[in-house]
């Protein structure tokens, strides 16, 4: 697919959410931007961001749809206490699910 069509597709059907690591850091910082489908609920977008920023079989920053922005060459996986920013709404990763902050 050519670049113009791909950019149009992404602008029409995809959103980007920010993943912010906080609980084990000196200060919260954005570690990734993750592409998620626009039509999903905020909670579903958070779940995709969580899944794509966790190392399962290969380091997470190599996952498709993830733009790594961490300050170091490597980064821990997203966990309880971290945040996902969906538009102007911030969600905290709880023990189970997501809490709007």
Amino acid 83: pLDDT: 98
Positions of the chain with pLDDT under 70: 1, 3-11
Residues 38-54: tens digit of each pLDDT? 999 999 999 999 999 99
How many other CB atoms are there within 10 angstroms of residue 83's CB atom? 22
Amino acid 20: pLDDT: 97
* Rounded alpha-carbon distances, angstroms, from residue 31 to 14, 35, 51, 74: 19, 14, 14, 10
**Exposure letters 10-31 (e unless 16+ CB within 10 A, then b):** eeeeebbbbbbbeeeeeeeeeb
Look up the pTM and report it. 0.87
């Amino acid at each position: 697919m050519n670049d113009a069509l791909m950019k149009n597709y992404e602008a029409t059907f995809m959103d980007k959410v920010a993943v912010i690591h906080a609980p084990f850091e000196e200060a919260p910082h954005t570690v990734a931007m993750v592409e998620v489908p626009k039509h999903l609920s905020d909670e579903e977008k958070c779940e995709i961001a969580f899944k794509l920023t966790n190392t399962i079989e290969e380091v997470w920053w190599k996952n498709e749809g993830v733009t790594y922005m961490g300050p170091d060459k490597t980064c821990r996986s997203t966990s309880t206490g971290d945040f996902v920013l969906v538009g102007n709404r911030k969600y905290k990763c709880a023990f189970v699910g997501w809490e709007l902050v």
